Chains A and B, each alone.
Chain A
Amino acid sequence: MKVKMLSRNPDNYVRETKLDLQRVPRNYDPTLHPFEVPREYVRALNATKLERVFAKPFLASLDGHRDGVNCLAKHPKSLATVLSGACDGEVRIWNLTKQKCIRAIQAHEGFVRGMCTRFCGTSFFTVGDDKTVKQWKMDAPAYGEEEEPLHTILGKTVYTGIDHHWKEAVFATCGQQVDIWDEQRTSPICSMTWGFDSISSVKFNPIETFLLGSCASDRNIVLYDMRQSTPLKKVILDMRTNTICWNPMEAFIFTAANEDYNLYTFDMRALDTPVVVHKDHVSAVLDVDYSPTGKEFVSASFDKSIRIFPVDKSRSREVYHTKRMQHVICVKWTSDSKYIMCGSDEMNIRLWKANASEKLGVLTSREKAAKDYNQKLKEKFRHHPHIKRIARHRHLPKSIYSQIQEQRIMKEARRRKEINRLKHSKPGSVPVVSEKKKHVVAVVK
């Protein structure tokens, strides 16, 4: 007797190769998959928790400098190359993949004040306390060659900063005035001044390349037009601005790192009100750099931490610190927008992930899908209190934490006083100044 048995053709359920996708019939009837919101909520909660668990942003520390790191520069072409200048006049070139110094040059006597690479990546410029501007080759000298600069320009005064044009053989230095140099000449082709105080930093606009922004120690930010060789406008803030950085995706937006613990994002066409005031640092902000996507920027502060701000938010999304990291002097966001480098007082350059919990290396497509899904879930449920609380939680060193508390009290007291003054004075006699406008002293045409 033949016994009939249930049997299946293995072709229907066995994959021939691992690349074959099995067709999985699926019924999307919502009644079969109930509780969609609670289930997604739990998934979002788990994703948020995992994000915090995997948030290990610190990657490496590059040590080798014998004094505080004063300036950093990115290589425009090679992602693995980074340049740094120290307070003892030494310039080092690093390979990030090997995490090793590949070249060290004694470039200046005294500080290396500023550093920039040429847009093609073949050479770089340094300025130092010894009143010189030096141009160096990016490649190491060949066998038997001396390590010496391509060009040296001896100036009259100390240069405090340098930046290279994004397309042409032109660079700008600042000091007593903003000078614009042709690479071929030893004297500036144009120099612009407005006011008498020394200028601490100058930056070319990466999009409209003829625009320059500078900040001086008399609390102002001055914009220049290189083509018309004239300053354009000046905005005076409450305190000194240390440096500015242009948004690489939005031509007229720049952010200024200020001594009053804040960063100000300006639209250069309307300088009287900053677009956003970014607050979170508890000490002077020393450096700022935009992510190449133009959506975020990173700031380095004297309070021994670096923070990442979204461009349109006034509060930071992330704060990085380690026990050994001292005052952070310079910071850069790498041009693949994945990493952040910061140079600090205690002679180290640190490499961080821009996204703290990101998994490094190649992701499989399923990993990628899961990552995207989790990201969307976190975004969707970000207003829910538990998720919000977990996502916002950060550890801070005690010094910063206590400072934040202290400043909160101070701020609250100030606010209260203001309100009281407003309340007890004749209506209209005490003007209500918005937080944004409060910090702008004047705009000079």
Chain B
Amino acid sequence: MSTNQAVESLLALSQQEDLVDLPKDYPLSASEDEGDSDGERKHQKLLEAISSLGGKNRQKLAERSEASLKVSEFNVSSEGLGEKLVLADLLEPVKTSSSLATVRKHLNRVKSKKTVEVPLNKEEVERIHREVAFNKTSHVLSKWDPIILKNRQAEQLVFPLEKEQPAFAPIEHMLSGWKARSPLEQEIFNLLHKNKQPVTDPLLNPVEKASLKAMSLEEAKMRRAELQRARALQSYYEARTRREKKIKSKKYHRVMKKAKGKQALKEFEQLQKVNPTAALEELEKIEKARMMERMSLKHQNSGKWAKSKAIMAKYDLEARKAMQEQLAKNKELTQRLQVASESEEEEGGTEVEELLVPDAVNEAQMNAEEPNPWMLRSCTSDAKEAGIQEDAEQLPELLDHNVSESEGDERPVAEEEILLKEFEERRSLRKRSKLNQDAESVGSQETKDSISQEVLFELRTLSQKLKENHQSGKQKASSVGTFPQVQREEPVPEEEESLLLQRPERVQTLEELEELEKEECFQNKELPSPILEGHWLKKNPNNQTDAPKKKKKEQMIDLQNLLTTKSPSVKSLAVPTTIEELEDEAETDQKQMIKEAFAGDDVIRDFLKEKREAMEASKPQDVDLTLPGWGEWGGMGLKPSAKKRCQFLIKAPEGPPRKDKNLPNVIISEKRNIHAAAHQVRALPYPFTHHQQFERTIQTPIGSTWNTQRAFQKLTTPKIVTKAGHTIKPIKAEDVGYRSSARSDLSVIQRNPKRLSAHHKKQLKKNSID
């Protein structure tokens, strides 16, 4: 690319030079300075005439005819010396005569031809060559990129890369280039010859050769193993089917049938996605089966069993149930298959989604039209519940399980409703305020915008809350024994984060609410802590409890940052204030704003509370060793006596004073164990991006004590495996599936011997002369 451009530019440059050259030549032809040259000529003549008067030269003057206007008898006139011959002058007479047309044509052609460009200088040419060659080469090399990347990221590399075939060289080949030289060898050969043993003849007979050429042992073994395996599989299969056929249990067969039906349905669905035409055929089959079912009397409650049941049904609840089941089955089997409804689960999922997000957003628009959209909302939720219950009915086998699930679902629904009510109330409040504002006609564009923004924002947060509640409810329902960590780690919704980022900082029109939201965001946000505390120590319950505290601490720091350093603007508390200075108006404004924004929360009181809690937590606990019921009566409502309690309470010794005792604004944690810290990793190692990642890798054991043999082997595969005693050759294009170049490098060079350097050519010449 660049080289081509360079060439072009060079060409352009040389052309320009030509253009510059041309006009220099032209004006010379014109006789502009005629007068000047005339004067000079006269002067010259005069001089010559004078000099000719000198004597000797006089005889030499000869008459000559000149093709000039003035013929001097004394001298060759120098007239027309400065003039230049122009092609046009010559052509003038040619124009008239038609016989010279060909000449004219030639001349015209000469005229039209451009001048040949000046060749580039040698360095330039070489540079261009180099650049082109480099580009070509790097293009060739870039084909290796994917392979190199793959090899670098490979879990395991086994060297040598290619399987080398052991080369069998027949002995006669070896012998052909070898002669017995030393006396010992000669003696041996003499012996061999004497006994007429084969020396150079092929030592292998044809049969042996053929066997060498035939299938290799390994291949044969593999093939045999394959065949054996296939036979064994077949026999297993036969035996299994025979066994299954023999089973008498009706229930078993029923279950099997059902399972098969389910499997078929699943496959059908799969097929529908992959191959619609085949699915259509399948559908026809199903349709046919349905027809058969309709025609037959099966499941119609008309059989012997059914009739007997019908009699019993009046008295027996179970019999009735069985009959209903039978009928339900019939209904199910004769139901027309609907292709449109892909899968009910998906629909359910989307329903939930719709419930959560878009509805909430849409309602802002809807509320103008409809008086109470929440009715609609509750209807849908009810419908959903009903649907769940229906499902439960449909699957009587899974009844128990479903009941628990529906219970789990009910709770979040209730919570949703509560939240919705809250929201409604707020909305009505806001409406009122809006009306007021309209009445006051204050509603400028800005405020309106802000309000609409606010509404949207609140809606979104509300939906978020809903979601969270939903999730938490689910979690409570499904997982009982989860870690508290898990709940802590509830993923912060991305939407909210992005919203945060988009917002410019401290826009004046933003309301208090949004500020508060911001705080919430901060609370949600997880700050990656740079320090990694003990990995296994974290399992202790103590650590678990203090983990959230630590987080809160970090939040505090953040909030203070927000408040800026001059912050003790909230003067409500007895905190020593700094010396008051005269401040600019802008600054006071800013302060005022911040004050307004954080009017609700008492940062410093919170902090103090925090500190008190930390102090309490760090105090050594008394140990109570009383055993209720030991030595006296025990049981409900009975407490061990005060004496006993006094006797068995071991008071904890007073610990050393806290380091932050005299520092009012600081909490110094003394949790850190110095002895453990020596073994702990201080900074997050490079490839990891989060300390949890790292901890997880540390916490998964790889030893065979904790893993099965297979897993252990898999976990401990070495990265590079080499075979002892095998040479590892450099990677080849053929090894990785590329086509290596057909022509050899040598032949390529020999084909273009163009560039033996000049220096070298000289050398060669010298050599030849020598």
At the interface, yes or no: B504 with Cβ under 8 Å from chain A?
Answer: no
Q: Are B678 and A385 in contact, CB atoms less than 8 angstroms apart?
A: yes
Q: Are B685 and A383 in contact, CB atoms less than 8 angstroms apart?
A: yes
At the interface, yes or no: B759 with Cβ under 8 Å from chain A?
Answer: yes
Q: Could you say which of A35, A36, A180, A380 contacts B697, with CB atoms under 8 Å apart?
A: A380
Q: Are B756 and A40 in contact, CB atoms less than 8 angstroms apart?
A: no
> For the complex, would chain A's binding face be called helix, strand, loop or mixed by DSSP majority?
loop
Q: Are A292 and B159 in contact, CB atoms less than 8 angstroms apart?
A: yes
Q: In the complex, what's the smallest C-beta–C-beta distance from B466 to chain A, in angstroms?
A: 37
Q: Could you say which of A33, A77, A170 contacts B727, with CB atoms under 8 Å apart?
A: A77
Q: Are B698 and A210 in contact, CB atoms less than 8 angstroms apart?
A: no
Nearest B residue to A30 via CB reads B706
At the interface, yes or no: A11 with Cβ under 8 Å from chain B?
Answer: no
Q: Are A229 and B749 in contact, CB atoms less than 8 angstroms apart?
A: yes
Which of B142, B536, B745, B748 is the most central at the interface, judged by chain A CB atoms within 10 Å of its CB? B745
**Complex Cα–Cα for A165 and B704 (A):** 49
Q: Are B708 and A28 in contact, CB atoms less than 8 angstroms apart?
A: yes
Q: When A40-B703, A445-B131 are in contact, do A336 and B745 touch as well, CB less than 8 Å?
A: no
Q: When A156-B763, A168-B745, A336-B722 are in contact, do A36 and B706 touch as well, CB less than 8 Å?
A: yes
Q: Are A79 and B727 in contact, CB atoms less than 8 angstroms apart?
A: yes
Q: Are A168 and B133 in contact, CB atoms less than 8 angstroms apart?
A: no
Nearest A residue to B685 via CB reads A383
Q: Are A337 and B722 in contact, CB atoms less than 8 angstroms apart?
A: yes
Task: Give every chain B residue within 8 A of A294 (Cβ-Cβ).
Answer: 151, 731
At the interface, yes or no: B753 with Cβ under 8 Å from chain A?
Answer: yes
At the interface, yes or no: B715 with Cβ under 8 Å from chain A?
Answer: yes
Q: Are A232 and B535 in contact, CB atoms less than 8 angstroms apart?
A: no
Q: Are A40 and B702 in contact, CB atoms less than 8 angstroms apart?
A: yes
Q: Are B728 and A335 in contact, CB atoms less than 8 angstroms apart?
A: yes
Interface residues of A in 267-290 (CB under 8 A from B): 268-269
Q: Could you say which of A39, A207, A337 contacts B731, with CB atoms under 8 Å apart?
A: A207
Q: When A182-B746, A191-B757, A445-B127 are in contact, do A336 and B728 touch as well, CB less than 8 Å?
A: yes
Please count how many residues in chain B sit with their CB below 8 Å of the partner chain's CB atoms: 77
Task: Give every chain A residue within 8 A of B748 (Cβ-Cβ).
Answer: 210, 227
> Interface digits, A404-442 against B, CB 8 Å rule (1 contact, 0 not)?
000000000000000000000000000000000000000
Interface residues of B in 78-93 (CB under 8 A from A): none
Task: Give every chain A residue within 8 A of B182 (Cβ-Cβ).
Answer: 142-144
Interface residues of A in 130-162 (CB under 8 A from B): 142-145, 156
At the interface, yes or no: B136 with Cβ under 8 Å from chain A?
Answer: yes
Task: Give every chain B residue within 8 A of A156 (Cβ-Cβ).
Answer: 763
Q: Are A36 and B752 in contact, CB atoms less than 8 angstroms apart?
A: no
Nearest B residue to A231 via CB reads B130
**Complex Cα–Cα for A28 and B711 (A):** 12
Which of A166, A180, A376 is the most central at the interface, judged by chain B CB atoms within 10 Å of its CB? A376
Task: Give every chain A residue within 8 A of B725 (Cβ-Cβ).
Answer: 79, 336
Q: When A225-B133, A383-B681 are in contact, do A375 and B718 touch as well, CB less than 8 Å?
A: yes
**Complex Cα–Cα for A102 and B83 (A):** 90
Q: Are A335 and B703 in contact, CB atoms less than 8 angstroms apart?
A: no
**Complex Cα–Cα for A214 and B763 (A):** 23
Q: When A168-B744, A190-B749, A373-B702 are in contact, do A269 and B138 touch as well, CB less than 8 Å?
A: yes
Task: Give every chain B residue within 8 A of A144 (Cβ-Cβ).
Answer: 181-182
Q: Are A37 and B701 in contact, CB atoms less than 8 angstroms apart?
A: yes
Q: When A233-B130, A249-B151, A445-B131 are in contact, do A228 and B708 touch as well, CB less than 8 Å?
A: no
Q: When A37-B536, A336-B725 are in contact, do A230 and B141 touch as well, CB less than 8 Å?
A: no
Q: Could you say which of B705, B745, B764 contacts A165, with CB atoms under 8 Å apart?
A: B745
At the interface, yes or no: B273 with Cβ under 8 Å from chain A?
Answer: no
Which of B179, B722, B729, B746 is the most central at the interface, judged by chain A CB atoms within 10 Å of its CB? B746
**Complex Cα–Cα for A268 and B135 (A):** 11
Q: In the complex, what's the smallest C-beta–C-beta distance from A87 to chain B, in angstroms?
A: 29
**Complex Cα–Cα for A110 and B151 (A):** 44
Q: Are A386 and B722 in contact, CB atoms less than 8 angstroms apart?
A: no
At the interface, yes or no: A314 with Cβ under 8 Å from chain B?
Answer: no
**Complex Cα–Cα for A230 and B752 (A):** 12
Q: In the complex, what's the smallest C-beta–C-beta distance from B724 to chain A, in angstroms?
A: 7
Q: Are A37 and B699 in contact, CB atoms less than 8 angstroms apart?
A: yes
**Complex Cα–Cα for A416 and B38 (A):** 81
Q: Are A211 and B137 in contact, CB atoms less than 8 angstroms apart?
A: yes
Task: Give every chain A residue within 8 A of B728 (Cβ-Cβ).
Answer: 248, 292-293, 335-337
**Complex Cα–Cα for A232 and B175 (A):** 47
Task: Give every chain B residue within 8 A of A38 (Cβ-Cβ).
Answer: 536
Nearest A residue to B733 via CB reads A207
At the interface, yes or no: B237 with Cβ under 8 Å from chain A?
Answer: no
At the interface, yes or no: B144 with Cβ under 8 Å from chain A?
Answer: yes
At the interface, yes or no: B564 with Cβ under 8 Å from chain A?
Answer: no
**Complex Cα–Cα for A429 and B730 (A):** 48
At the interface, yes or no: A317 with Cβ under 8 Å from chain B?
Answer: no
Q: Could you say which of B133, B181, B733 contacts A232, with CB atoms under 8 Å apart?
A: B133
At the interface, yes or no: B732 with Cβ under 8 Å from chain A?
Answer: yes
At the interface, yes or no: A57 with Cβ under 8 Å from chain B?
Answer: no
At the interface, yes or no: B98 with Cβ under 8 Å from chain A?
Answer: no
> Interface digits, B235-272 against A, CB 8 Å rule (1 contact, 0 not)?
00000000000000000000000000000000000000
**Complex Cα–Cα for A384 and B535 (A):** 11
Q: Are A293 and B720 in contact, CB atoms less than 8 angstroms apart?
A: yes
Interface residues of A in 209-253 (CB under 8 A from B): 209-211, 223, 225-233, 248-252
Nearest A residue to B745 via CB reads A210
Q: Could you say which of A28, A229, A369 contacts B755, with CB atoms under 8 Å apart?
A: A229
Which of B130, B131, B182 is the most central at the interface, judged by chain A CB atoms within 10 Å of its CB? B130
Q: Could you say which of A189, A373, A380 contacts B753, with CB atoms under 8 Å apart?
A: A189
At the interface, yes or no: A167 with Cβ under 8 Å from chain B?
Answer: yes
Q: In the complex, what's the smallest C-beta–C-beta distance from B552 to chain A, in angstroms?
A: 28
> Interface digits, A311-335 against B, CB 8 Å rule (1 contact, 0 not)?
0000000000000000000000001
At the interface, yes or no: A295 with Cβ under 8 Å from chain B?
Answer: yes
Q: Are B137 and A225 in contact, CB atoms less than 8 angstroms apart?
A: yes
Task: Give every chain A residue within 8 A of B755 (Cβ-Cβ).
Answer: 190, 229-230
> Interface digits, B735-746 against A, CB 8 Å rule (1 contact, 0 not)?
000000000111
**Complex Cα–Cα for A38 and B733 (A):** 47
At the interface, yes or no: A357 with Cβ under 8 Å from chain B?
Answer: no
Q: In the complex, what's the smallest C-beta–C-beta distance from A55 to chain B, in angstroms?
A: 18
Q: Are A227 and B745 in contact, CB atoms less than 8 angstroms apart?
A: yes
Q: When A38-B536, A193-B759 are in contact, do A207 and B732 touch as well, CB less than 8 Å?
A: yes
At the interface, yes or no: A402 with Cβ under 8 Å from chain B?
Answer: no
Task: Give every chain B residue within 8 A of A232 (Cβ-Cβ).
Answer: 130, 133-134, 137
Q: When A190-B755, A380-B698 are in contact, do A385 and B133 touch as well, CB less than 8 Å?
A: no
Task: Give every chain A residue within 8 A of B535 (Cβ-Cβ).
Answer: 37
Task: Give every chain B residue within 8 A of A170 (Cβ-Cβ).
Answer: 745-746, 749
Nearest B residue to A26 via CB reads B708
Task: Give every chain B residue within 8 A of A383 (Cβ-Cβ).
Answer: 681, 685
Q: When A292-B730, A369-B716, A385-B678 are in contact, do A227 and B749 touch as well, CB less than 8 Å?
A: yes
Interface residues of B in 120-159 (CB under 8 A from A): 126-127, 129-131, 133-134, 136-138, 140-142, 144, 148, 151, 157, 159
**Complex Cα–Cα for A382 and B722 (A):** 23
Task: Give every chain A residue within 8 A of B705 (Cβ-Cβ).
Answer: 33, 36, 39
Task: Give every chain B residue within 8 A of A380 (Cβ-Cβ).
Answer: 697-698, 702
Q: Are A37 and B698 in contact, CB atoms less than 8 angstroms apart?
A: yes
At the interface, yes or no: B726 with Cβ under 8 Å from chain A?
Answer: yes
Q: Could you say which of A35, A193, A369 contacts B757, with CB atoms under 8 Å apart?
A: A193
Q: Are A337 and B159 in contact, CB atoms less than 8 angstroms apart?
A: yes
Interface residues of B in 163-190 (CB under 8 A from A): 179, 181-182, 185
Q: Nearest 10 pairs between A and B by C-beta?
A: A206-B730, A292-B728, A248-B730, A143-B182, A36-B701, A143-B181, A335-B727, A372-B716, A269-B138, A232-B134
Q: Could you name 19 residue pairs across A and B whose Cβ atoms are closer than 8 Å?
A: A37-B701, A38-B536, A43-B703, A165-B746, A180-B749, A189-B750, A191-B756, A211-B137, A225-B136, A228-B129, A232-B130, A232-B137, A233-B134, A250-B151, A337-B159, A337-B728, A369-B713, A385-B679, A386-B679
Apart from the given pairs A227-B749, A250-B144, A445-B131, 11 other A-B contacts in the complex at a CB distance below 8 Å = A35-B536, A170-B749, A187-B764, A207-B144, A208-B140, A210-B748, A228-B136, A230-B130, A336-B728, A337-B728, A372-B717
